[in-house]
Amino acid sequence: MSIHIRLINEADLDAIVAIQDSCYAAELFEDAGLIRKRLASQPQSCWLAENNTGEVLAYLFSYPSRNNQIAPLGSDFGCYADAELLYLHDMAVSFNGRGMRLAPQLLAHAEQYAADLGFNTLALVAVQGSVPYWQKQGFETVTFTGVTAVQALASYTGQNAVYMQKKLLQA
């Protein structure tokens, strides 16, 4: 089966919401309206993986951001003229896509996009006990004590959310 990675478009949103619903705890669910707004604000940094029949199997929403800027759950994507890294907001793989190594493929796509923008760092908030997965992908935990950062992480209710970064190799 061949896999194709491409930019997400609005016609894909129903499939993406269905994957999100099947992969995330109820308190992490973000509605289609918010996802639509995010896609409209950052269409060039949101990708999906589909099979040769067009079935959406996985997706990744990301956007250029600033160092140590933590996005609270349910917030719009920021638009930063002074962006310095690529923030991975949401990545999920459908049940039908499991075992196909789609997450690493999407991550590699994001890394290339970040490098093309001149960024050497990726960032994310790990939820649902995913810190070990992200550590295997080269991410490291970044600890904050500032009120704004702590509140942003706390918005991921019951998740023990952890901000992580990965430095990209320079060519």
Domain boundaries, the chain: 3-167
Question: What CATH class is the domain 3-167?
Answer: alpha beta
Amino acid occupying residue 75 = S
Q: What pLDDT, on the 0 to 100 scale, is given for residue 170? A: 67
The vertex-81 CA angle with 152 and 20, nearest 5°, equals 45
pLDDT given for residue 93 in this prediction: 95
pLDDT means per 10 residues in the chain (171 residues)? 92 94 83 89 96 96 92 87 94 94 96 96 94 96 86 86 90 50
What is the DSSP annotation of the chain? --EEEEE--GGGHHHHHHHHHHHS-GGG---HHHHHHHHHH-GGGEEEEEETT--EEEEEEEEEE-TT-PPPTTPPPP--TT--EEEEEEEEE-GGGTTS-HHHHHHHHHHHHHHHTT--EEEEEE-TT-HHHHHHTT-EE----SHHHHHHHHTSTTS--EEEEEEPPP-
Residue 91 β-bridge partners: 60
Residue 56 has what pLDDT?
A: 97
